[in-house]
Chains A and B, each alone.
Chain A
Amino acid sequence: MTRPYERMGRYIIKRLLTAVALLLVMSFVTFMLMRLTPGNYLDTLRLDPQISKDTLAYYEKLYQLDKPAWQQYLFWLAGLVRGEFGYSFYYNVPVAKIIGSRLGNTFILSFAAFLLTWMLAIPLGIWAALNRGRWGDRVAQFISYIVLSLPGFFVAMVLLFWASTTGWLPLGGMESPGAEDLSLWARSWDMFRHLIIPATALSLGSIAALQKIMRGNMLDVLGRQYILAARARGLPEHRVIYVHALRNAINPMITLLGYEFSALLSGAALMEIITSWPGLGSLMLTAVRSKDIYLVMASMMMGGVLFVIGNLLADIALAKADPRIQIK
């Protein structure tokens, strides 16, 4: 008999291996698609009279742009194994130099939105379930429905507009100019102020969606017989609700963790572009606009990696929270 953590370890390795294989296939398809379309970044450079023919030839040789596409892919892949992501022609630096900080920034934004979502949605859902049918619940459900239909980018625009009229919050970006000279504390506070708008716009829709699900779960559980039994035994109401009902109602929410995380990453990319948050999404937009192939590939792969890790963590959390779930 294998011990649980051994089984878990094997499961994680298996999951990671499949993920790597799938990401490889995906990267191959994207690479080929991008190579098949006419035009690459060197064409843009060619139009620049300041860049000599020798430089162009050097780049062409260095990145084997004269070779067939599959060889270029293998070349890129070989670089990836060595931790090189290729060269960004747009920024004129190796991709690895830019992508790290961008990855961190995207993580900060996604994580903040994630925290905000769950810290608000769960209590809201519980409260709505306990006040079912009263006007407070009705108002909350009505507002949720409207918020669910509002595009995230629109919310961000309205918030930015509000910030521009009141001047209470900074308008986009991640840091104020000159933030590097501030103390660590002041700098964090500055970043926090920049974070408010994108994180709120990003999480508003998820809050509405999750509180609806949480409310449904809670109502479902509150109707069960064991709740009736607990009440019949004379347990205080808060124990019935917060110990017996809540624990069972919150379990299905953990399955949603992974799904929510991917939606969040996807939404974060657009939000970064609108609020000019210097993350992976806005980097990728620049890359796509300038046909900077290695930068596009790296951003996409990093997005995929974040996604895989998020999903894996969610699965593990689920297995930890619910002993009935068998991981194989």
Chain B
Amino acid sequence: MSEFKLAWQRFVKDRVALIALWVLGILYAAALFADVITPYSLRDESRLHTYCPPTAIHFLTSDGHWAGPYVRGVAMSYDEYRRRIYRETDEAYPLKFFGKGESYKFLGVVTWDRHLLSVDAPGRVYLLGADSRGRDIFSRIIHGARVSLTIGLFGVLISFVLGLLVGGIAGYFGGRIDNILMRMCEMVMMVPGFYLLLALRAAVPDTLNSLQVYAAIVIILAFIGWAGLARVIRGMCLSLKERDYVLAARTMGLTDMEIVMRHILPHTISYSLAAVALAVPGYILGESALSLIGLGIQDPYASWGNMLSEAMNIVRIQFAPWILWPAFFIALTVMCFNLIGDALRDAWDPMLKGRGDQP
């Protein structure tokens, strides 16, 4: 049986990690099918519903008869401190499943206009409440998942490839090359992460469009993160290259490149998978921190970080606590990645215990 299969068997025994894997799967699927799942598009707003609280879903009419799921309309008024109060009216808007709504390009190709959940205008359904411009927070969280969940993954992917290359070369060849490459890593690690993040962000021109900003953030995060992974992989290569099978491969006349590619890196991948899973939260938090302080993804595009920037004004949390929902999703994602990373490390541990650096 291969190493991977053995480790996988140990991994699936970890119930908590499996649940975490499922939760992440659901979140990523939701991000992929965001257009269908969400009642409203990214740009949809309703100034009459500023900070509208979560909509209650009713099943019975006011005299107690079954009426299926429906929502009531809301009427806004002001109290004596000029604060908004929302009151339910008698108008009823039945919840429609796969009803027609705003049209969109499904998966970027097919034009479709069905939404998993919707109500007819002028009724509005806010599953998790509304933000300052009457936008549906639930819809924006799902749309924002596309940014927040992928930015970390792309970032970690680039860092990982870089780290694998640099770490592999440094660890295998050692000596002068190792010295130079490790000084390069130290250079990046010498400036505290967030300062480097800000400095690099300062070097990004203001004129970029949102897709370019997204790419810029991925590159910045990857630039900050590769050094740490490279050091972990270097440590493992250092110990792996002393093994007998590497000596055997060399006696058989394999070139250095072949040995690194075929015999050393595959053995580090297993362990570094855990390191990668444990690194993803850092990228996700980096993106949300950057967007939170207004240097990341910009309105009208949503990311969990920039949605939270509304909560920077503490008073708003008081009358609209639901603007904190994105933080819940950040925490949930981070926790899932941590659980999976820990479980992966434990699954590989019997083979690699006590060897290489602990990430």
The residues of A with any CB-CB pair to B shorter than 8 Å are 18-19, 22-23, 25-26, 30, 33-34, 36-39, 145-146, 148-151, 153-154, 157-158, 160-161, 164-165, 171, 262-263, 265-267, 269-270, 273-274, 280-281, 284-285, 287-289, 291, 293, 296-297, 299-300, 303-304, 306-308
Asked if A157 and B314 sit within 8 Å, CB to CB, the answer is yes
Asked if A150 and B331 sit within 8 Å, CB to CB, the answer is yes
Q: Name the B residues within 8 Å of A265 (CB-CB).
A: 192, 194-195
The residues of B with any CB-CB pair to A shorter than 8 Å are 183, 186-196, 198-207, 281, 285, 288-289, 292-295, 308, 311-312, 314-315, 317-318, 324, 327, 330-332, 334-335, 338
How many whole Å from A31's CB to the nearest CB in chain B? 9
Closest residue on chain B to residue A36 by CB atoms: B203
Closest residue on chain A to residue B183 by CB atoms: A22
Since A151-B288, A269-B192 are in contact, a sample of 6 more A-B pairs with Cβ atoms closer than 8 Å, ordered by chain A residue number, is A26-B190, A151-B330, A153-B289, A154-B324, A306-B192, A307-B192
Asked if A39 and B312 sit within 8 Å, CB to CB, the answer is no
Complex formed: what's the CA distance from A274 to B151 in Å?
Answer: 23
Q: Name the A residues within 8 Å of B206 (CB-CB).
A: 39
Complex formed: what's the CA distance from A40 to B333 in Å?
Answer: 38
Asked if B183 and A281 sit within 8 Å, CB to CB, the answer is no
Given A154-B327, A157-B314, A161-B317, residue A284 in contact with residue B195 (CB < 8 A): yes
How many whole Å from A14's CB to the nearest CB in chain B? 13
Given A30-B203, A148-B338, A157-B311, residue A300 in contact with residue B190 (CB < 8 A): no
Q: Name the B residues within 8 Å of A158 (CB-CB).
A: 324
Asked if B289 and A270 sit within 8 Å, CB to CB, the answer is yes
Complex formed: what's the CA distance from A40 to B292 in Å?
Answer: 24
How many whole Å from A252's CB to the nearest CB in chain B? 10
Closest residue on chain B to residue A23 by CB atoms: B190
How many whole Å from A33's CB to the nearest CB in chain B? 4
In the A-B complex, the 4 residue pairs with the smallest Cβ-Cβ separation, listed nearest first, are A149-B335, A33-B203, A303-B195, A269-B194
Complex formed: what's the CA distance from A263 to B294 in Å?
Answer: 22
* Cβ contacts A to B, 21 pairs, < 8 Å: A22-B186, A23-B191, A30-B200, A146-B335, A148-B338, A149-B281, A151-B288, A151-B330, A157-B311, A157-B314, A158-B324, A266-B193, A266-B194, A269-B192, A270-B293, A280-B195, A284-B195, A285-B198, A297-B199, A299-B195, A300-B196
Contact partner of B205 among A37, A280, A287, CB < 8 A?
A37
Complex formed: what's the CA distance from A146 to B332 in Å?
Answer: 9
How many whole Å from A235's CB to the nearest CB in chain B? 29
How many whole Å from B260's CB to the nearest CB in chain A? 27
Asked if B315 and A153 sit within 8 Å, CB to CB, the answer is no
Asked if A269 and B200 sit within 8 Å, CB to CB, the answer is no
Complex formed: what's the CA distance from A148 to B332 in Å?
Answer: 11
Complex formed: what's the CA distance from A149 to B285 in Å?
Answer: 10
Q: Name the A residues within 8 Å of B195 (CB-CB).
A: 265-266, 269, 280-281, 284, 299-300, 303-304
